Amino acid sequence: MTEGKVFISWSLRLLLLLIQVTLFSGCGNYSKLSPVETDTVTYINPVISGFNPDPSVCRVGEDYYLVTSSFEYFPGVPVYHSRDLMNWQQIGYCLDRKDQLNLEGMGLWQGIYAPVIRYYDGLFYMFTTLVGGGGNFYVTTTDPAGPWSDPVWVDEGQFDPSLFFDDDGKVYYTRRGPTGIVQAEIDLKTGKLITPMKEIARGFISRDAEGPHLYKIDGWYYIMIAEGGTRFLHMETMGRSRDPWGPFEPCPFNPVLAQHEGYSNVIRSTGHAELVQAHDRSWWMFFLATRHTWYDGLSNLGRETFLAPVSWKDGWPYVEGKYVLDTDVRVKTLPIKKFESLPKRDDFTSDKLGLKWMHLRNPINHSFTLTEKEGVLRLYGNQYNLSDLNAPAFVGQKQKHISCIATARLSFSPAAPNEESGLTVYLNDRYHYDLAVTRRDGSLCLVVRKTVGDIVAETARVILPENTICLRIRSDERKYYFEYSLDEGGEYKIIDDGLCQLITTELASSFTGTVIAMYASGNGTMNGSPAEFEWFEYSPVAEITENQ
């Protein structure tokens, strides 16, 4: 071959590669090409640990962006970024202003449900539902790290909205309806529906159908639906049609994703999935699932984000059962691109909280500050406590590992028995364990209080000789252990423990998972003095617990 022919050959290959990147960018239409060869590695599920349910993903070139549900926590809808599908780094929140997200008074089964993220023509869209008030809305941005726009409200009633951008310029808004999946064309410049809502599908296996996503692959419109509820019967089904309005032919081997093989398996409740084609043409499915260690089938971490490779079988996407049976998955993957690990300890030297921190609903003005005293997070306890459907002084992060240790150094001088501050393992307003500094019978004390449904009990008490103390909550697969030390770096003493089983999502009927938080409360009045946290450290107990 001559030098000129070699140059032309490589130019054509480059042109074809550029065309493929252009075709495969975005989140709507795909080509069902065979995956190319990549490295075989073992990655760890969940790929995003801690409660991160209802994952939705879009791709822009070789970058991937993922959002999950946030319910009653603020800021709302965390945004994650990846370049290999396995390693994810949080880059922001979609809803970080109260005028975007007002969570006042919202509790169990309310707040933000099931967001979807899409990219089209230079703009990112995040569509979600504020179940406790307002309904379905979307926000936009050119930068997924934010800031995002003010909400554009669309409609009320039901939830799980999704967007599909078709080749002809039409945009379809699909969501759960009263008896099935409904759809309309939408004008995203105004948020107005162009056509009436029409039911296009029902469950292919069950009557419980939600979380729809529409895709166009090789001329077929595929609809993917979450069925069976979000517990042990959860699954993902598929249908296809030549028309985006259906009727949809059901996949002959539905469900395309499920873990119905064993009640005692580590991974359960798989479903609410998103299909994505990677930039190397391989196919993947993101989905929520729960991790378990006990035969009772209870999980305190909540629903997390999992990943599985997708194969094509007779024109249908399919996830092999072996990929949802264990947390270790060995497959061919994209080249690994890890992010720098975040520090385990926060010394509160910044004037802003990091992205891992969350508040319970919208924080009340001056309930926390990082600027009044250098290197200290101050919490000002207000009239609300952890059992109120409101906003106590609360700064927490998701529990990401079954076995972990969370430690904080606190200085606090309560003036009365109603004033308290400390650490909490919080699932919701009716299920939490608290390790708190307060006063009892005129003495400075450390107490453990357990709130399990309608049972509230103070189960341990220790007199403290001083108001500066290191608090520690340690967990394993069975229990939380509540510990303290009077000296930083000193020996920790256990004053009580609590069963993990009693603050689990199944028992509490909760859609979230456990959050370990620093908090303060006046239990009806304002605290007389602030609670000062000098540092907080969270670390897993196991050596290898996640991909990054």
- CA dihedral defined by 296, 297, 302, 308, rounded to 10 degrees? 150
pLDDT exceeds 70 at position 545: no
Residue 145 is predicted with a pLDDT of 98
Architecture field, domain 345-540: Sandwich (2.60)
Active site residues: 54, 210
- Of the candidates 456, 419, 421, 418, the one whose C-alpha atom is nearest the C-alpha of residue 435 is 421
Q: Does 299 or 542 have the greater pLDDT score?
A: 299
Backbone angles phi, psi at 256, to 5 degrees: -80, -15
- CATH 2.115.10.20 residue ranges in the chain? 27-332
pLDDT at 263: 76
Residues of the chain with CATH 2.60.120.200: 345-540
For residues 104-126, give the mean pLDDT: 94
pLDDT tens figures, 197-209: 999 999 999 999 9
Which of 216, 214, 227, 154 lies closest to 186 in space, CA to CA? Answer: 154
Q: What predicted TM-score, i.e. pTM, was given to this entire model?
A: 0.92
pLDDT in tens, 53-102: 999 999 999 999 999 999 999 999 999 999 999 999 999 999 999 999 99
Mean pLDDT (the chain) is: 91
How confident is residue 295, by pLDDT bands cut at 50, 70 and 90? low
Strand, helix or coil for residue 31: coil
Distance of alpha carbon 544 from alpha carbon 290, whole angstroms: 19
Residue 319 has pLDDT above 90, yes or no: yes
Lowest average pLDDT, out of 3-17, 303-317, 354-368, 452-466, goes to: 3-17
Q: Which DSSP state fits 44? A: E
CATH topology of domain 27-332: Tachylectin-2; Chain A (2.115.10)
Of 312, 257, 335, residue with least CA distance to 289 = 257
Kindly state the DSSP code that residue 38 receives in the 8-state scheme: -
Query: For residue 332, which of 32, 20, 43 has the smallest C-alpha distance?
Result: 43
d(CA 516, CA 425): 5
Q: What is the pLDDT of residues 259-283, one digit of tens each?
A: 998 777 899 999 999 999 999 999 9
Per-residue pLDDT at 383 exceeds 70:
yes
Q: Does residue 107 or residue 178 have the better pLDDT?
A: 178
Residue pLDDT, tens place only, 386-438: 999 999 999 999 999 999 999 999 999 999 999 999 999 999 999 999 999 99
For residue 296, pLDDT beyond 90: no
Per-residue pLDDT, averaged over 313-335, amounts to 94
Among 25-34, 381-390, 513-522, the range scoring the smallest mean pLDDT is 25-34
- pLDDT the model gives residue 30: 54
Beta strand extents in 2-134 (DSSP E only)? 29-30, 40-44, 56-60, 63-67, 73-74, 76-82, 89-95, 112-120, 123-130
Between 215 and 37, the more confident residue is 215
Mean pLDDT of 510-529: 96
Specify the pLDDT at position 262. 78
User: Which has the minimum average pLDDT: 282-296, 331-345, 369-383?
Assistant: 282-296
- Do residues 160 and 175 lie in contact, with contact meaning Cβ atoms separated by under 8 Å? yes
46 has a pLDDT exceeding 80: yes
pLDDT exceeds cutoff 80 at 544? no
* CB-based contact 255:274 (threshold 8 Å): no
For residue 320, pLDDT over 90 is answered with yes
In order, the DSSP letters of 490-534 are S--EEEEEEEGGGG-HHHHT-SS--EEEEEEE-TTS--SS-EEEE
